[in-house]
Amino acid sequence: MEVVLHLPAVPNVELVAAKAVETLGEAMGMDRDGIEAVSVAVVEACLNAMEHGGSSFVVRLAGEDGVSPRMRVEVEDQGRGFDPDACPPDDSTRVHGCVSKRGWGLILIRELMDDVQISSRPGLTRVRMWKELENAP
Amino acid sequence: MNEPQINLQTAVLDDGLGLISAAGYINNEGGQAVADAASELVGGGCQSLVIDLEGTRIINSIGVSILLEIMEKIMEGAGKLAFCNLTPTIAKTFEIMGLDQYAGIFSDREAAVTSFDTDGTA
């Protein structure tokens, strides 16, 4: 079971990906909390793809069987790329009175999903993430 | 669960407590709509606010960052803020981004409203 979306970088298109997560998650038997966690993660990945990528990007969703069935989500863009290791740390002191309130996307993705792999170079950035069916936020 | 347009309702409760009920996607536009509603209530004399997210199932970090700005403005005026009816994912997002350090998080509206009555802090 796989869903592939070729999405233009237009406002609120990330909700199309979130809707696909909801549909696939329900078909896989994922609970509501799990679906909502994946939805927020895919929204953040789509926003990053639109901010750093080009005029379009690709979202792939798939169910993976096994001892621990899980949903796999990939968001891929062909933008300029970035250094994943240079992303800001999870530091709550950034919140109140901080200079910038941006840059939370990858932190949220890593916290809400069970496993995350990021590869990036100029012309191809891929965020690949997994959520087990039984793991709520 | 993925309505792009946010639906807001506001009210002033007893003791001048402001209430905002938000249903829909809290992105940049949704966050700004909540911020505008909060500013209007504070400008009308509400020192403390309850933001009820019962109808909100999905958010993004830009929208939450705008909510952070609301908190800062309210706190600068010695006001207080409480959230209620968060989904587990939204509650975790607030925790990750540190909102729970500056605003009360409550399971339902009654608990949020009562928190202002009991100790004056949310």
DSSP class per residue in A50-65: HHHS-SEEEEEEEEE-
Structural domain range at position B12: 7-119
Whether residue B65 lies inside any domain: the answer is yes
**CATH 3.40.50.1220: does it fit domain A2-132?**
no
Above pLDDT 90, what percent of chain B? 69
pLDDT in tens, B83-94: 999 999 999 999
Mark yes or no for CB contact A47/B60 under 8 Å: yes
The enclosing domain of B20 has a CATH number of 3.30.750.24
According to the model, what pLDDT value does residue A43 have?
97
For residue range A5-27, list pLDDT tens digits in order: 999 999 999 999 999 999 999 99
Per-10-residue mean pLDDT of chain A, 137 residues long, equals: 95 97 96 96 96 91 92 95 68 45 86 96 95 79
Provide the β-strand partners of residue A129. A73, A116
The answer to whether residue B1 sits within a structural domain is no
- Does the distance separating the beta carbons of B68 and A96 come in below 8 Å? yes
Q: Could you tell me which chain A residue has the CA closest to the CA of B62?
A: A102
How many domains does chain B fold into? 1
Q: Give the contacts of A60 (CB within 8 A, at least 6 positions apart).
A: A2, A3, A4, A5, A72, A73, A74, A76
Q: Give contacts of B92 with chain A, Cβ < 8 Å.
A: 37, 111-112, 137
How many Cβ atoms from other residues are within 10 Å of residue B97's Cβ? 23
By CB atoms closer than 10 A (0-12, 13-18, 19+), residue B70 is buried
Question: In what order do the strands lie in the sheet containing A115-121?
Answer: A2-8, A56-64, A70-77, A124-132, A115-121
**ipTM for the predicted complex:** 0.89
Q: Which residues are registered as beta bridge partners of B113?
A: none
From CA A130, how far away is CA A120, in angstroms rounded?
18
